Amino acid sequence: MECLFCKIVKKEIPARVVYNDDHTIAFLDINPANPGHILVVPKKHHETVMDADNESLEKAIVVVKELSKKVKEEMKAEGVNVLQNNGKFAGQLVPHVHFHIIPRFQDDMVIISYKRSQIEDAKMEEIRKKLE
């Protein structure tokens, strides 16, 4: 079975498109967290942000910026979340790299949450060294 977002790119299934160029398409999320929830999708198929080519990502992030400004203005949003999930344990449902733009409003009941922890200094330094 071919990828859902590739099918949208090829116009084989419909979507409410808000932006389209050679590299990037953006359309309304079919189950929005809030009205105006947009998905920005590089047209080339890659599963995650780690797999995607830099050109596709560079083009997409500029579209994310411009559409974030637009959605904030047009939906009269008070804030905007830009989210990006990689892998099913990170909440990725559609295995074609994409960015969520979610307009936010005071008391909108959208929950994006994680428990914050504290890690001891030595462990933090060990982690930093691994990641530098």
Active site residues: 98
Which tokens go with 83?
């989210």
> What is the Rg, in whole angstroms, of the alpha carbon atoms belonging to the chain?
17
Place of tokens 């936010």: 104
In 10 A of CB 15, how many CB atoms? 20
Rule CB under 6 A: is residue 92 a binding residue for ligand AMP?
yes
Rule CB under 6 A: is residue 82 a binding residue for ligand AMP?
no
Instruction: Check: CB of residue 29 under 8 Å from CB of residue 53.
Output: no
User: Closer CB to ligand AMP, residue 50 or residue 131?
Assistant: 50
What distances in angstroms separate CA 18 from CA 8, 40, 95, one per listed residue? 13, 9, 21
Cα 58–61–64 angle (5° rounding)?
155
Contacted by 96, from ligand AMP, Zn ion, none: CB < 5 to 8 Å by type: Zn ion
Site for ligand AMP in 4-23 (CB under 6 A): 4, 15
Instruction: Pick the stretch among 28-36, 45-53, 69-77, 124-132 that binds ligand AMP (CB under 6 A).
Output: 28-36
User: Closer CB to ligand AMP, residue 29 or residue 108?
Assistant: 29
Interface residues with Zn ion (CB under 5 A) are 3, 5-6, 45, 96
Contacts to ligand AMP by CB under 6 A: 4, 15, 27, 29-31, 39, 85, 91-94
